[in-house]
Chain A
Amino acid sequence: MSASQQTPDNVYLQVRNVTKTFGHFVALADISLDMYRGEFICFLGPSGCGKTTLLRIIAGLEEQNTGQIIQNGVDISRFPPARRDFGIVFQSYALFPNLTAAKNIAYGLEQSKLSRQDIQERVQQLLNLVGLPDSGHKYPAQLSGGQQQRIALARALALSPGLLLLDEPLSALDAKVRASLRTEMTSLHQRLGITSIMVTHDQAEALTMADRVVVMDHGRIVQVGTSQEIYHHPATPFVANFVGVMNFMQATVTDQAGTVYWGSLPLALNHHVAQWPAGSSLTLAIRPEDVRVADAAAGAPSVALAHIEQTEFLGPTYRLHLRIPANGNGHHDVSLLADIPAQQAHHAALQAARMVPIQLPSEAIRVFAPEA
């Protein structure tokens, strides 16, 4: 991934305190964000969280209520789209159906003062760039979904814009094509180094493609960070749950400082929990792949004997649906998911209805502060 320098003088696009409402509905609430030159940013979030709206405001296709957009040091908030410097690919591609692929790509170029010859060369160059050198004469309806997407990309790049905006460019494609286009687009971005923003609600897409991911919810930015940060250090339970699979555990702080109980199971945490009074309830989280099959016997902190309710074969791993029985004291059974490498699962003959000792490593447990 192209690492761009995250220094203040390398900021390319600034979103400052942008608020957008539709009637009384708040689509974006006071959004601020800096993007660096050459960065590939993904806006990630559930449907309706305002990703597209933010993208359209950056493009000038919607007017915000308040706030500014600053591109390359210029406040473009009041510029109509035609004066802004961006190329855009829509989910529908919006290819002109009555024009050939080449004419589609040339559409904006014909506005410029380029000669016919230059335009043709540039179109061919773009067709080569997106890997469709021979498809210029075809109409959009004669191209596959993936090919249409590439032509739309070529068209967006034709005027060499400073900013590339992509609204769910891959979501209309089937899984195979999608995966291959992901890699292609990433490498294209590395070659061109154009600052790009992609909207998606597919977390895998965001994690594999983005330099930084902007996770949004309810018109707000919840977290900004690299894929690793987002995955391993989610800022809120929402992010933790939205990105990847997560086990959540409602735990209680007991009077013994440093130990919390999840049901009847004592857990060791790296986190300093003494700041919370005894009796407060914490949300803990652990990824299924971080749950281990223990060598130690049950009884030690974070180790428990779990009942395998069900197994799911996921290819490289097995997903175990586990239930940890309560040991009296009015506690309830608790359950969680664990992803175990397939080989280990075979080796240990982990099957439904068996018991297995598991461990929740303290360094893998995320702690979310109790809600105020």
Chain B
Amino acid sequence: MASTTTSSSAAPTVPDAVIKQRVRQSVTTEDWLIRGLIVLAGLWLLVIIFLPLYSIIYRSLTDKAGNLIWFANYATYFQNPALYGSLYNSIFIATVSTIISVLIGFLFSYAVTRTAMVGKPIFRRIVMLPLYMPSLIHAIALIYLFGNQGFVTKGFFGYFRENWGFDPSFDIGLYGPIGIIIGEVLFCFPQAIIILIVALSLTDARLYEASTALRASRIRTFFTVTVPSIKYGLISAAFVCFTLAFTDFGIPKVVGGDFNVLATDIYKQVIGQQNFQMGATVSILLLVPTVIAFAVDRIVQRRQMSLVNARAVPLHPQPNPLLDGVMLLFCMIITLIVLAMLGTAIFASLVNVWPYDFTLTLKHYDFGRVGGGGFNAYWNSVRMSAYTAVFGTVILFFSAYLIEKGKQLQWTRSIIYFISILPVALPGMVIGLAYIFFFNQPSWDMAGLTIPNPFNVLYGTMTILVIANIVHYYTVPFLTATTALKQMDPEFESVSASMSVPFYKTFWRVTLPVCLPAVLEIAMYYFVSAMVTVSAVIFLYAPSLKLASVAVVNMDDAGDTAAAAAMSVFIIVTSIGVRVLYELVTWGITRQTQAWKKR
């Protein structure tokens, strides 16, 4: 009879009227400041995301003269096989590329997290290299390898025929879907790896012990433990790859040949035919699947329950010679391909006349001889990326802070949170075109009133490029910032309030220093992304403000492929340089200001 838990009574209830009541604390100046800032953050997102999106949707519903014609543009689109064929092409390319990328990404991630193979850190580093390359460079390298004058197509220029008596020349038919898919896979699979490595690392060894104890075979364990535990990672990876491949512009532009996809169609409609309505219409068709994929991913991720709790035991992979050997071979092939791509581009930028004269030269780095903007374009890109990194990081981190730590305006904050993660579903081309429509509009006529567009002055400036980049790459750093902020003790703010210390002081003295590694990571991500992006800026740069990544497209268009390769090498070297700088700074900071992390 002893120690039975006797509860005094059932859970209490109160009248509904009481539930709705609240003893509201008086609103302080500080509260007003926070509210003001939250509203400001909301307005900022409204101007840079919502109004431009509205503009592009609206434009797709009007004719050239600006009259509302509802879905007539879409009707035209779907009546013209030359147009709707691209939609099919895009879906086909994106689907195949996603399947291959996720498969490669999964095998690679599995190898570097769950096997005992050697060289895992090196493989991980190398495979991340493509993140620092413009997607175009894959296309350019592919041309040098498999194009009409490619190494492989030409049988290594007779080397084998002369010395070994056989001709391995082989034409894969690069220009078209094959080239695009190879390019997209090379571009996408590192992104899948980033997500899947995280998913595979978050596991509990005890699940595997249990499975082994139940005498489940390795294969069975794989399908009953491993696959379910990374299901959500796989879905996310697929979503990211699909969106990237579906919306990419650079690769289809360079190796697509006559094979049209949506992104290149938008470009043709807008730049080639000056048909902005149809450009807007195609943009919406580009946008719809990515938004659907985004929504599905959100819904699925919400169901995810953490399989890993605080008591989880990390998994230490056991050696398995056969598996380790096969995986080692696989990783070597993949990393070799990555390095071959980079190597080909660098080599091509250094030879005199491909494929006739392989003497080394730096002449392709003398951009004065070709169009595209040369070194000016390069410096513009560096400036743009630096501004994006600085302003993007400041704005993004501060608004993530307001959303995560603010206690005011609950609803507004949830809406802002949602808008902040939405940009991942917005293709760069759509952002670019939407920005043209929104910022180029001198005024709006509303109910007989003419409202001048105050943002019109930004059109054609560096500012609009920077803003477009900040928006285009908003989601990933926003989640990084949110995660970092969530890891902070929520009582820091309470403690500060108890000592009457204003929130901005605690932000400055505690939150920011503690989150500094995340802040630097965000800045680096912004810099590198802005450096390599083409799609968001191709519609927005002014003739007087050319950009390096766009120059790559234009030089390739003009047939100066070697110069395009040279410019790409510049971009890569800069991005990797910034990465190295970031590592050094982080290392230095960890040593100094974060001495508290060491015991």
Interface residues of A (CB under 8 A from B): 19, 21, 23-26, 29-30, 59-61, 63-68, 77-84, 86-88, 90, 92, 94, 96-99, 107-108, 111, 139-142, 155-156, 158-159, 161, 217-220, 222, 236-241, 245-250, 288, 334-337
Select the stretch in B63-71, B133-141, B216-224, B487-495 that faces chain A. B487-495
CA of A178 to CA of B484 in the docked complex: distance in angstroms? Answer: 32
- Residue B309 lies at the interface, judged by CB distance under 8 Å to chain A: no
Q: A245: which B residues are within 8 A, CB to CB? A: 2-3
CA of A55 to CA of B514 in the docked complex: distance in angstroms? Answer: 28
Q: A83: which B residues are within 8 A, CB to CB? A: 28, 500
| Number of residue pairs spanning A and B whose beta carbons lie under 8 angstroms apart | 167
Contact with A along B159-203 (1 / 0, CB 8 A): 000000000000000000000000000000000000000000000
Tell whether, in the assembled complex, residue A21 and residue B14 are in contact, meaning their CB atoms are under 8 Å apart: yes
CA of A92 to CA of B342 in the docked complex: distance in angstroms? Answer: 50
Tell whether, in the assembled complex, residue B1 and residue A334 are in contact, meaning their CB atoms are under 8 Å apart: yes
- Residue B305 lies at the interface, judged by CB distance under 8 Å to chain A: no
Q: Which of B12, B513, B597 gathers the greatest number of chain A CB atoms within 10 Å?
A: B12
Tell whether, in the assembled complex, residue B514 and residue A98 are in contact, meaning their CB atoms are under 8 Å apart: yes
**Which listed residue, A26, A87, A96, A156, touches B13 by the CB 8 Å rule?**
A26
Contact with A along B497-526 (1 / 0, CB 8 A): 111111000000110011000000000000
- Residue B212 lies at the interface, judged by CB distance under 8 Å to chain A: no
Tell whether, in the assembled complex, residue B1 and residue A94 are in contact, meaning their CB atoms are under 8 Å apart: no
**Which listed residue, B13, B28, B496, B595, touches A139 by the CB 8 Å rule?**
B595
Tell whether, in the assembled complex, residue B514 and residue A97 are in contact, meaning their CB atoms are under 8 Å apart: yes
List the 7 closest A-B pairs by CB distance, nearest first: A108-B499, A139-B596, A94-B491, A29-B12, A238-B8, A81-B497, A82-B500
Tell whether, in the assembled complex, residue B25 and residue A79 are in contact, meaning their CB atoms are under 8 Å apart: yes
Tell whether, in the assembled complex, residue B497 and residue A220 are in contact, meaning their CB atoms are under 8 Å apart: no
Q: B2: which A residues are within 8 A, CB to CB? A: 245-248, 288, 335-337
Tell whether, in the assembled complex, residue B23 and residue A246 are in contact, meaning their CB atoms are under 8 Å apart: no
- Residue B26 lies at the interface, judged by CB distance under 8 Å to chain A: yes
Given that A26-B11, A142-B599, A237-B6 are known contacts, is A247 also in contact with B1, CB under 8 Å in the complex? Answer: yes
Chain A residue with the shortest CB-CB distance to B25:
A80
Chain A residue with the shortest CB-CB distance to B31:
A80
Tell whether, in the assembled complex, residue A108 and residue B501 are in contact, meaning their CB atoms are under 8 Å apart: yes
CA of A7 to CA of B393 in the docked complex: distance in angstroms? Answer: 58
Tell whether, in the assembled complex, residue A107 and residue B12 are in contact, meaning their CB atoms are under 8 Å apart: no
**22 A-B pairs whose Cβ atoms sit less than 8 Å apart in the complex:** A21-B18, A26-B13, A29-B14, A59-B494, A61-B497, A63-B22, A64-B23, A82-B30, A86-B498, A98-B510, A98-B513, A99-B510, A108-B501, A141-B598, A141-B599, A217-B7, A236-B8, A245-B3, A246-B2, A246-B3, A335-B2, A336-B2
Instruction: Give the distance to chain B from A113, nearest Cβ to Cβ, in Å.
Output: 13
CA of A142 to CA of B3 in the docked complex: distance in angstroms? Answer: 42
Tell whether, in the assembled complex, residue B28 and residue A82 are in contact, meaning their CB atoms are under 8 Å apart: yes
Given that A26-B13, A99-B509, A248-B4 are known contacts, is A82 also in contact with B18, CB under 8 Å in the complex? Answer: no
- Residue B320 lies at the interface, judged by CB distance under 8 Å to chain A: no
Q: B514: which A residues are within 8 A, CB to CB? A: 96-98
- Residue B306 lies at the interface, judged by CB distance under 8 Å to chain A: no
Given that A26-B12, A245-B3 are known contacts, is A78 also in contact with B25, CB under 8 Å in the complex? Answer: yes
**Which listed residue, B26, B30, B596, touches A140 by the CB 8 Å rule?**
B596
Chain A residue with the shortest CB-CB distance to B9:
A218
CA of A299 to CA of B316 in the docked complex: distance in angstroms? Answer: 67
Tell whether, in the assembled complex, residue B510 and residue A19 are in contact, meaning their CB atoms are under 8 Å apart: no
Tell whether, in the assembled complex, residue A19 and residue B596 are in contact, meaning their CB atoms are under 8 Å apart: no
Contact with A along B558-599 (1 / 0, CB 8 A): 000000000000000000000000000000000001111111
